[in-house]
Amino acid sequence: MSDQPYPAATLQQVESSLTGFFQDLGCQLKEYGPERAVVELLLLPRHLNNASNLHGGVTATLLDVAMGLCGTWVEQPEQRRVATTLSMNVNFSAPAPVGSRIRAVAVRRSAGHKVFMASCDLLDEKGHLLAFGEGVYKRGKLRSELP
Amino acid sequence: MSDQPYPAATLQQVESSLTGFFQDLGCQLKEYGPERAVVELLLLPRHLNNASNLHGGVTATLLDVAMGLCGTWVEQPEQRRVATTLSMNVNFSAPAPVGSRIRAVAVRRSAGHKVFMASCDLLDEKGHLLAFGEGVYKRGKLRSELP
Amino acid sequence: MSDQPYPAATLQQVESSLTGFFQDLGCQLKEYGPERAVVELLLLPRHLNNASNLHGGVTATLLDVAMGLCGTWVEQPEQRRVATTLSMNVNFSAPAPVGSRIRAVAVRRSAGHKVFMASCDLLDEKGHLLAFGEGVYKRGKLRSELP
Amino acid sequence: MSDQPYPAATLQQVESSLTGFFQDLGCQLKEYGPERAVVELLLLPRHLNNASNLHGGVTATLLDVAMGLCGTWVEQPEQRRVATTLSMNVNFSAPAPVGSRIRAVAVRRSAGHKVFMASCDLLDEKGHLLAFGEGVYKRGKLRSELP
């Protein structure tokens, strides 16, 4: 195995290692490669705002998760690094109703020694742009490097 | 009643009118006046990221909710307007562990005819700064103006 | 003529109609079409910061100019609209030394009735990413609509 | 001397050590202390946009300069550190005409080992808010630590 997106089995292994808010929200990891991650969510009533559309906080969460992942890919999934968000920005371009299946597609844009940057689009099933954002992240150590 | 923060009973009435993701997360509206809103959350395990700290998406949600509220206050709570986020930015300055009681304190910074801007600090019980952000919002119509 | 990028002569006409800070900095408009604008700058000593690299303010200016243009293109150049920035965000990914010829490539990402959103990459001659950003803008009226 | 804002003579010494775009624009350093910096500019015709108001790029520059300074203060001015911008965001709340004397007031919000964060308001003579922003910066080494 080399610099390739994960096959389905590895994808599921990584997905189930993601804890807390990712699972609570109902996110799914659909694609994960060296510089790209795709996270999907089926919009339920609990994800909405008072105008009955996708809540801005859900949008921000999906972008944050996908961008954090796209800069911490490692060949060996059990070596998973953590990403720490330093800063993120989101622009909201269109609403989405309950029942939408939305996808955050994040791409790593730069990578230094400890800091990486990413941008991310949030799309609906038809590829319509719902939001887009960008972020700056600190890349954690490999699990094998941790004390 | 005039340009005053809501008394406790009104606060609770407004809080219970907030639906979807606000309730799902477990947010509480602690203070709400003409240009200021305070939203509180007790950090539960489901709000954490893979490093066992406050998830960036939860931070963004709290800031978004508090900023949206601070620019849409109306004297008569049953007239509630909706706020639509155009853009938001968050800087993350410190982690917070499970059990923390965190507060997003949002202040309206400017208000035009249809657009308002806000900034927001996220603090823990000791007043330590966890994150800060700013956003641009579109202010919806009063309920009585809606068709 | 229809929904096409401007030919060279029109490009120069539009460029010379841009006043103030655009000219002061020494920017050139290299490409301008319905949803895309490219602004170029040759880095002079006066554009640098204290570390002798491209100043963050110059980066922000180039992105702001190119994004403002990409959402206000009109078929008839003498009808030029103005763009008003509501919010912009910039991530800085690499330094650039004096003598670099840098290009801000802006793309319109969404357009509503009055507000448009854009993202923009700043590249050097070799296509290396120096910075990237995104913004929210208000689109002004056509000159013929102004009082 | 200890943790105090610089007296006038030191302020001028630091101001004249700032090169490039800061000087080119005509900025003045009006106040500089451990966690706060104030940069002033008299708006000239060359600082304007096509709508004859303060250009967004000038706003971004003033905020970037003031925020970079507020996190790199040192007791001994000849030891000056450099700040590298990782990310910055600006919201634009009001226009300003030529002849305005505008001030960027930056405050350090957090400081880690290598990264600091700041927020900044841009005000006119009457204290009216023209723009506000926030940024993430890397703090350079002290001059005496450089090779």
For residue D133, list chain B residues with Cβ-Cβ distance below 8 A. Answer: 134
- State the pLDDT at residue A100: 97
Backbone angles phi and psi of A77, in degrees to 5: -60, -30
Single-letter amino acid code for the residue at B108: R
Evaluate if residue B2 carries a pLDDT over 60: no
A50 touches chain B (CB under 8 A): yes
- Is-contact C90 C122, C-beta < 8 A? no
* B50 contacts A82? CB cut-off 8 A: yes
- State the pLDDT at residue C2: 56
The structure tokens 């941790």 sit at A146
* C86 contacts D55? CB cut-off 8 A: no
HSE-CB for D24 with a 13 A CA cutoff: 20
- State the pLDDT at residue A50: 86
- State the pLDDT at residue B1: 41
- State the pLDDT at residue C77: 83
Using DSSP's 3-state secondary structure scheme, residue C82 falls into coil
- State the pLDDT at residue B119: 98
Residue of C nearest to B90 (CA): C89
Helix, strand, coil abundance in chain A, percent, nearest 5:
25, 40, 35
Backbone angles phi and psi of D119, in degrees to 5: -130, 160
Mean pLDDT (whole number) for C74-97: 93
Give the domain CATH number at D40.
3.10.129.10
- Domain assignment of residue A124, yes or no: yes
Residues of chain B with pLDDT > 90, as a percent, come to: 71
* D47 contacts C24? CB cut-off 8 A: yes
- Domain assignment of residue D100, yes or no: yes
- Domain assignment of residue B40, yes or no: yes
* D89 contacts A115? CB cut-off 8 A: no
- State the pLDDT at residue A1: 41
- State the pLDDT at residue B57: 95
- State the pLDDT at residue C26: 94
For helices D56-70 and C56-70, what crossing angle results, to 10°?
A: 150
Question: What are the CA-CA distances from residue D1 to residues A141, C65, D44, D75 (Å)?
Answer: 41, 44, 37, 8
Residues 6+ apart with CB under 8 A from C54: C43, C47, C48, C95, C96, C97, C100, C102, C130
- Domain assignment of residue C106, yes or no: yes
Q: What gap in Å lies between CA D128 and CA A64, rounded to an integer?
A: 34
- Domain assignment of residue C2, yes or no: no
For residue C87, list chain A residues with Cβ-Cβ distance below 8 A. Answer: 91
Tell me which DSSP letter residue D99 carries: T
B98 touches chain A (CB under 8 A): no
Q: Using one digit for the tens of pLDDT, what is the confidence trace for D100-140?
A: 999 999 999 999 989 999 999 999 999 999 999 999 999 99
Token pair, residue B126, equals: 């000791």
For residue B87, list chain D residues with Cβ-Cβ distance below 8 A. Answer: 91
How many separate domains does chain B show? 1
User: CA angle, corner D124, sides to D119 and D127, nearest 5?
Assistant: 75
Chains that touch B (3 or more CB pairs under 8 A): A, C, D
In the sheet with C83-92, reading across from the earlier edge strand, the strands are C28-33, C36-42, C101-111, C115-123, C129-139, C83-92, D83-92, D129-139, D115-123, D101-111, D36-42, D28-33
Mean pLDDT (whole number) for B76-98: 93
Distance, CA of A102 to chain centre: 12
- Domain assignment of residue B2, yes or no: no
* B119 contacts D129? CB cut-off 8 A: no
Mean pLDDT (whole number) for C15-38: 91
In the sheet with B101-111, reading across from the earlier edge strand, the strands are A28-33, A36-42, A101-111, A115-123, A129-139, A83-92, B83-92, B129-139, B115-123, B101-111, B36-42, B28-33
B89 touches chain C (CB under 8 A): yes
For residue B89, list chain D residues with Cβ-Cβ distance below 8 A. Answer: 89, 134
Average model confidence (pLDDT) for chain A?
93
Domain that holds residue B87: 8-145
Name the helix (H) or strand (E) containing C81: none
Average model confidence (pLDDT) for chain C?
93
* C89 contacts B136? CB cut-off 8 A: no
Q: What gap in Å lies between CA A132 and CA B67, rounded to an integer?
A: 19
Which of A20-34, C98-112, C126-140 shows the lowest per-residue confidence on average (mean pLDDT)?
A: A20-34
Chains that touch A (3 or more CB pairs under 8 A): B, C, D
Q: Using one digit for the tens of pLDDT, what is the confidence trace for C46-55?
A: 999 988 899 9
Which of C54-58, C94-98, D138-142 shows the lowest per-residue confidence on average (mean pLDDT)?
A: D138-142
- State the pLDDT at residue C58: 96
Mean pLDDT (whole number) for B40-62: 94
- State the pLDDT at residue D79: 84
- Domain assignment of residue C126, yes or no: yes
Q: Using one digit for the tens of pLDDT, what is the confidence trace for A16-71?
A: 888 788 899 999 999 999 999 999 999 999 999 988 899 999 999 999 999 999 99
- Is-contact A136 A64, C-beta < 8 A? no
Residues 6+ apart with CB under 8 A from C17: C77, C80, D50
ipTM, interface predicted TM-score of the complex: 0.93
SS (H, E, C) A34-99: CCEEEEEEECCHHHECCCCCECHHHHHHHHHHHHHHHCCCCCCHHHCCCEEEEEEEEEECCCCCCC
* B62 contacts A58? CB cut-off 8 A: no
For residues B96 and A145, which has the higher predicted lDDT (pLDDT)? Answer: B96
Backbone angles phi and psi of C26, in degrees to 5: 100, 25
Evaluate if residue C20 carries a pLDDT over 90: no
Low-confidence ranges of chain D (pLDDT < 50): 1
Evaluate if residue B85 carries a pLDDT over 90: yes
- State the pLDDT at residue D1: 41
Q: Is the dihedral of CA D83, C41, C68, A109 positive or negative?
A: negative
Evaluate if residue C1 carries a pLDDT over 50: no
Mean pLDDT (whole number) for C103-127: 97
Neighbours of C132 (CB within 10 A): 25
Q: Look up the pTM and report it.
A: 0.95
Chains that touch C (3 or more CB pairs under 8 A): A, B, D
- Domain assignment of residue B1, yes or no: no
For residue D57, list chain C residues with Cβ-Cβ distance below 8 A. Answer: 21, 25, 57-58, 60-62, 64-65
